[in-house]
């Protein structure tokens, strides 16, 4: 079997207002199989413009590993669960990685069936 193409795997970035929200989102997207894994990075500081004002807030970063063909499903699940009015969700193409890890991400975002995409 050929290793998966790196472009089949994405890292999605999102933020949450606190640990409880970050954990709830992470568990939900992994349980729904729209993500293979989520790393939660605690207590970062965000500075952003919102409704004409510069705001600053503590947030928790989610690094979400998913398959490219699960992007729309991940967007839907995250948007339904997220407490923010306009949640951050951006995607980065994975350009390289260990083949076994990339395969694992693809396999874990399927309904229990190993991925056959090459």
Angle at the Cα of 35 from the Cα atoms of 33 and 39, rounded to 5 degrees:
135
What pLDDT shows up at residue 5? Answer: 66
Q: What is the pTM of this model?
A: 0.88
**Domain positions in the chain:** 6-108
How would CATH label the architecture of 6-108? 2-Layer Sandwich (3.30)
Q: Is 73 helix (H, G, I), strand (E, B) or coil?
A: helix
How high is the mean pLDDT in each 10-residue block of the chain (118 residues)? 74 98 98 97 96 97 98 96 96 94 95 48
What pLDDT shows up at residue 114? Answer: 45
Tokens of 67: 């398959």
Contact 18, 114 (CB under 8 A): no
φ and ψ at residue 41, rounded to 5 degrees? -105, 115
């Amino acid at each position: 079997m050929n290793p998966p193409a790196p472009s089949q795997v994405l890292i999605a970035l999102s933020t949450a207002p606190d640990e409880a929200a970050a954990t709830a989102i992470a568990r939900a997207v992994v349980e729904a199989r729209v993500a293979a894994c989520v790393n939660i990075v605690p207590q970062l500081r965000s500075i952003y413009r919102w409704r004409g004002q510069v705001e600053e807030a503590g947030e928790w970063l989610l690094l979400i590993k998913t398959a490219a063909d699960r992007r729309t499903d991940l967007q839907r699940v995250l948007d339904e669960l997220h407490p923010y009015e306009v949640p951050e969700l951006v995607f980065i193409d994975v350009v390289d990685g260990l083949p076994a890890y990339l395969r694992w991400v693809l396999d874990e975002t399927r309904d229990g069936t190993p991925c056959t995409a090459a």
